Amino acid sequence: MDLQRTKAIAKKEFKHLLRDYRMLAILILFPVFLLIIFGYAINFDVKNIKIAVYDRDHSSLSRKFINSLSGTENFDLEGYIFNDSDIKHVLDEKKAQCVIVIPDDFSENVYNNVPAKIQFLIDGVDGNTATIVQNYVNLAALNFNREITAEIFSAYGIKSSIPLELEPIFWFNPELSSTKFLLPGLIGMILVIVCVVSVSISLVREKERGTIEQINVSPIKSTELLLGKITPYVALALLNATMIIIAGYILFGIEVKGSFLLLFFSSLIFLFSAASIGIFISVISESMQVAFSLATALSLLPSVILSGFIFPIESMPWIIQVFTNITPVKFFIVILRAIILRGVGLEAFWEQVIYMLLFAIIILTLANLINIKKEKSA
Amino acid sequence: MEAIIKIKSLKKSYDDIKAVKDISLEVYEGEMFGLVGPDGAGKTTTIRILCGLLKPESGSVKIFEKDIIKNKKEIQNQIGYLSQKFSLYGDLSIDENIEFFADIHGVKDYQQRRDELLEFTRLKPFRNRIAEKLSGGMKQKLALACSLIHKPKIIFLDEPTTGVDPVSRRDFWKILSGLIKEKITIVLTTPYLDEAERCNRVALMNKGEIISLDTPNKIKQALEKEIIEIVCTKIREAYKLIRDEIGFEVQMFGDRINVIINNIEKDYPKIEKALKEHSVEILNYRKITPSLENIFIHLVRKAG
């Protein structure tokens, strides 16, 4: 290893990067763009569910129930319905996502200690939202039950108590905000794309332009070349990460709870494993076009679908779970969530660091084997 | 003279194509050695093996008495290579390109050497221009300057003047003769036989084989025959006539034909007679000294 030569390569590569305004603009603006898209547009929080009510009971009790729903920020009361056929209209025309039908014997049953039934018709087209609506409704019904029971019992002069009371508290993300959940994954995704695409393109460019020949006849070794080549892009990716963390704080109020130093070093290891994918791609592709397509496909898709960024890995079939290991983002997300949201130390994620290193070693070995085979047939 | 490069029974094939078939040659220190031949003769393959860019299939290559495969990096530090394709960084300036090659060769204090090279190649006025914006000839001179920054003992030039205009070509050759004065050994490939004449020694290559190897003069003298150049009407007819009916070897060069004969006094009348019979009018004829081109075509035909 000669660091002078590595420095020479890195210096030249920085010049390329700074002179290619278009590429530089894309590499800097693209993360900002993604952050805005994911931060604002993709929102899994379900609030302001539109409801319509068909109240056939018209009692003070039924009104009380309705108020208990529309009083929260989860539900917005859109209006009342007065006959059966309107239920269909309201749902068809998407005027409401949920229709509540209160039967005419509702209050009578409640006071006679007979279980009263309330019908909820939920628009099930968006399954995800429907499940959340159902949960909210259940919760509302549970609360209402408790209040009414207490009221009825006290009317008989009995002090009631409920044997079991659940009080769920969500740690690390008490508001269950999806932006908070998404930000670490977003950092992982952006870094992997920037790193894989730029490293592979910059290596293949030398092949395509023939400049690699001059480097090959120089005393420079391949490790020196690769290290020099990835340095500027790793630096750029770290800049991107910093920008996202600052923007995450300003726009979404997400603070890094853990150590910045740990964050920095784990990001460095992650970028090393991402760069290894870039190197692998540069070995198997001969033109920048091929490299670009492969790099985007291999970095973007797995980091969105298989990394646990959006879809939890635990709920995937085992065979798909095996495939999730093709992206180092999977491991990095665990680390990021641990540092940013939970503020814990290395003891919580040292395994992931080892996985990332293993990942890089495997990919680089594979790239090296293919390269040797190619050289032999050349 | 001492051999600085020694090639023994070198072979290399790509799949089914035998690019280089059993080549042996030596290059002496301080000479300009030319590998000459048409496209596909195996010139580029040979020069790339010499630089350690390709692995030979069999045979050995020794440079400075060291094996190119075993001591690749050590040898590469003392050689320069100029590839056929322009291979510098288009977005870097002349100065920056040279600086980069100085850095990767570990040359410290390259500034003075760079000024010398820029002076030598007359690129100094353009030193801050980016390489992309240079003319073909200037690009080639810059590439040469880059390959010389670390003071190599040998430089390998792969078709350095292909696609360069005639004026720049002459310029380039002047620079090369300057290098020879500095005791740098030059190995170059060229498809142009007029360039080959300027080399100290040449290896004529065809289909992966060396068909002749010597100084240009000795190669020409080795042909113990005479050549007459004839300018005449109906040139195609004359060509076929001489080849098929009299049985001499004929080479066509545009508006004239060269005939290889044993003796002008004895053989010319035969040609004259035959052409007259077919009403071909001879406008002019003269005995010429054979050029490398004549020899090359002759040797290729002889080899079949």
The pLDDT, as a whole number, for residue A173 is 65
Distance from CA of A205 to the nearest CA of B (A): 10
Measure CA of the first residue to CA of the last residue in chain B; give whole Å: 35
Residue type for A96, please? A
Distances (CA, A) of A330 to A60, A187, B271: 54, 12, 86
Q: Taking residues A236-255, what's their average pLDDT?
A: 88
Distance from C-alpha of A194 to C-alpha of A215, rounded to nearest angstrom: 25
Which of A1, A22, A24, A218 to substitute to test the interface with B, most B CBs within 10 Å? A218
State pLDDT tens for residues B269-294.
888 888 888 888 888 889 888 888 88
Which of B103, B104, B155 to substitute to test the interface with A, most A CBs within 10 Å? B104
State pLDDT tens for residues A38-95.
777 766 667 788 888 888 888 888 888 888 888 777 788 888 888 888 888 888 888 8
Which residue blocks in A285-349 are alpha helix, DSSP H? 288-305, 318-323, 329-336
Q: Taking residues A159-169, what's their average pLDDT?
A: 67
Non-local CB neighbours of A73 within 8 Å, separated by 6+ positions: A47, A48
The residue extents of the domains of chain A are 3-42+177-377, 49-155
Q: Taking residues A177-196, what's their average pLDDT?
A: 85
Residues of A in contact with B91 (CB under 8 A): 15-16, 19-20
Helix (H) or strand (E) holding A79: strand A75-80
The pLDDT, as a whole number, for residue A268 is 95
Contact present, A16 and A203 (Cβ < 8 Å): no
Of B85, B100, B106, which is closest to A2 when you measure between CB atoms?
B106
Distance from C-alpha of A319 to C-alpha of A317, rounded to nearest angstrom: 6
Identify which of B173, B187, B177 has the alpha carbon closest to the alpha carbon of residue B34. Answer: B187
Exposure class string for B67-89: b at 16+ Cβ within 10 A, else e: ebeebbeebbebbbbbbbebbbb
Contact present, A52 and A99 (Cβ < 8 Å): yes
Q: With helix as H, strand as E and coil as C, how does chain B read?
A: CCEEEEEEEEEEEECCEEEEEEEEEEEECCCEEEEECCCCCCHHHHHHHHCCCCCCCEEEEEECCEECCCCHHHHHCCEEEECCCCCCCCCCEHHHHHHHHHHHCCCCCCHHHHHHHHHHCCCHHHCCCEHHHCCHHHHHHHHHHHHHCCCCCEEEEECCCCCCCHHHHHHHHHHHHHHHHCCCEEEEEECCHHHHCCCCEEEEEECCEEEEEECHHHHHHCCCCEEEEEEECCHHHHHHHHHHHHCCEEEEECCEEEEEECCHHHHHHHHHHHHHHCCCCEEEEEEECCCHHHHHHHHHHHHC
Residue type for A60, please? S
Report the length, in residues, of chain A: 378
Distances (CA, A) of A155 to A106, A108, A158: 19, 16, 7
Answer whether CATH 3.60.15.10 is correct for domain A49-155.
no
Quickly state the pLDDT bin for A182 (edges 50, 70, 90). Answer: confident
Distances (CA, A) of A315 to A178, B83, B116: 18, 56, 69
Answer whether CATH 1.10.287.130 is correct for domain B3-220.
no
B100/A2 Cβ within 8 A: no
Quickly state the pLDDT bin for A226 (edges 50, 70, 90). Answer: very high
Contact present, B291 and B251 (Cβ < 8 Å): no
Residue type for A319, please? I
SS3 at position A34: helix
A210/B104 Cβ within 8 A: no
Exposure class string for B190-215: b at 16+ Cβ within 10 A, else e: bebbebbbbbbbbbbbbbbbbbbbee
Q: Taking residues B213-222, what's their average pLDDT?
A: 90
Distance from C-alpha of B91 to C-alpha of B89, rounded to nearest angstrom: 6
The pLDDT, as a whole number, for residue A162 is 65
Q: What are phi and psi of B134, to 5 degrees?
A: -90, 155
Distance from C-alpha of A257 to C-alpha of B12, rounded to nearest angstrom: 62
The pLDDT, as a whole number, for residue B49 is 92
Distance from C-alpha of A25 to C-alpha of A35, rounded to nearest angstrom: 16
Q: What are phi and psi of B35, to 5 degrees?
A: -100, 115
State pLDDT tens for residues A275-308.
999 999 999 999 999 999 999 999 989 988 898 8
Tokens of A169: 């508290």
Of A7, A15, A213, which is closest to B53 when you measure between CB atoms?
A213
Q: Does position B46 have pLDDT exceeding 80, yes or no?
A: yes
> Which residue is associated with the tokens 């990095």?
A332
The pLDDT, as a whole number, for residue B146 is 92
A210/B85 Cβ within 8 A: yes
State pLDDT tens for residues A99-139.
888 888 888 888 887 888 888 888 877 777 788 788 888 88
Contact present, B171 and B143 (Cβ < 8 Å): no
The pLDDT, as a whole number, for residue A356 is 95
The residue extents of the domains of chain B are 3-220, 224-303
Q: Taking residues B179-183, what's their average pLDDT?
A: 89
Distance from C-alpha of A292 to C-alpha of B302, rounded to nearest angstrom: 51
* Mean residue pLDDT across chain B: 89
Non-local CB neighbours of A234 within 8 Å, separated by 6+ positions: A195, A268, A271, A272, A275
Exposure class string for A19-50: b at 16+ Cβ within 10 A, else e: eeeebeeebeeebeebbeebbeeeeeebeebb
B-facing residues of A in 166-225 (CB < 8 A) are: 209-221
B76/A218 Cβ within 8 A: yes
In chain B, what is the greatest distance between 2 CA atoms, to the nearest angstrom?
75
The pLDDT, as a whole number, for residue A358 is 95
Contact present, A31 and A253 (Cβ < 8 Å): no
State which residue of chain A sits closest to B130, comparing Cα positions.
A19
* Mean residue pLDDT across chain A: 86
B132 at the A interface (CB within 8 A)? no
A365 at the B interface (CB within 8 A)? no
Tokens of A103: 């039967």
Of B76, B88, B90, which is closest to A217 when you measure between CB atoms?
B76
A4/B52 Cβ within 8 A: no
A209/B90 Cβ within 8 A: yes
Tokens of A5: 């030569």
State pLDDT tens for residues B96-127.
999 999 999 988 888 998 998 898 888 999 99
Identify which of B275, B183, B213 has the alpha carbon closest to the alpha carbon of residue B7. Answer: B213
State pLDDT tens for residues B153-165.
999 999 988 878 8
Residues of A in contact with B83 (CB under 8 A): 210, 213-214
Mean pLDDT lowest for which of A162-171, B82-91, B136-145?
A162-171
Radius of gyration for the alpha carbons in chain A, expressed in angstroms and rounded: 29
Contact present, A244 and A183 (Cβ < 8 Å): yes
Contact present, A367 and A361 (Cβ < 8 Å): no
Quickly state the pLDDT bin for A160 (edges 50, 70, 90). Answer: low
Higher pLDDT pick, B210 / B224:
B210
The pLDDT, as a whole number, for residue B262 is 86
Quickly state the pLDDT bin for A175 (edges 50, 70, 90). Answer: low
Distance from C-alpha of A291 to C-alpha of A60, rounded to nearest angstrom: 69
Distance from C-alpha of B135 to C-alpha of B130, rounded to nearest angstrom: 11
A289: left (phi over 0), alpha (psi -120 to 50) or beta: alpha
The pLDDT, as a whole number, for residue A263 is 93
State pLDDT tens for residues B61-104.
999 999 998 998 889 989 999 988 878 899 999 999 999 999 99
Distance from C-alpha of A63 to C-alpha of A49, rounded to nearest angstrom: 18
- Name the percent of chain B lying above pLDDT 90: 40
CATH dotted code for B224-303? 3.30.70
Beta-bridge mates of residue A56 = none
Quickly state the pLDDT bin for A177 (edges 50, 70, 90). Answer: low
Residues of A in contact with B90 (CB under 8 A): 209
The pLDDT, as a whole number, for residue A168 is 66
The pLDDT, as a whole number, for residue A166 is 67
A215/B51 Cβ within 8 A: no
B77/A12 Cβ within 8 A: no
CB atoms within 10 A of CB B291: 18
The pLDDT, as a whole number, for residue A296 is 92
In chain A, what is the greatest distance between 2 CA atoms, to the nearest angstrom?
97
The pLDDT, as a whole number, for residue A314 is 86
Interior angle at CA B260, CA B254 and CA B261, nearest 5:
145
Distance from C-alpha of A106 to C-alpha of A115, rounded to nearest angstrom: 9
B58 at the A interface (CB within 8 A)? no
